[in-house]
Amino acid sequence: MQTWAEKLYASPAWKHCRESYLQSVSYLCEKCTTAENPNVAKIVHHKVYLTEENINDPEIALAWDNLQAVCQDCHNREHHAVNDKRYIFGPDGGLVYVPPTS
């Protein structure tokens, strides 16, 4: 978490918003849940990413139409898809960039 976001995520407003939103979708991932395979959502993701410039705008930070309940795997895919970078640990223990495959 970015330092500039800590205040929002510790706030009662966010905690209430997050919990209410998760309850509204029955704690199910909105990206990958199917009737045959329900997946628990533990993360409330901002569709429009929070930035230092918009974090104090309640229409971005707290509005339900900007939120999506997701599981950890879907959240990771969302953020990896944005920067499209993957890394592994190399033989010397350092990070090595792995280019995406087509």
pLDDT > 90? residue 82: no
| Token code pair at residue 4 | 């500039």
Find the farthest-apart pair of alpha carbons in the chain and give their distance in angstroms, rounded: 47
| Token code pair at residue 14 | 């966010």
Average pLDDT on 75-87 reads 68
Kindly report, residue by residue over 1-42, the tens digit of the pLDDT: 789 999 999 999 999 999 999 999 999 999 999 999 999 999
pTM: 0.76
Q: Is 78 helix (H, G, I), strand (E, B) or coil?
A: helix
DSSP E strands: which ranges in the chain? Answer: 43-46, 67-70, 86-89, 95-98
Q: What does the DSSP assignment read for 53-70?
A: TTTT-HHHHT-GGGEEEE
| Token code pair at residue 65 | 């139409």
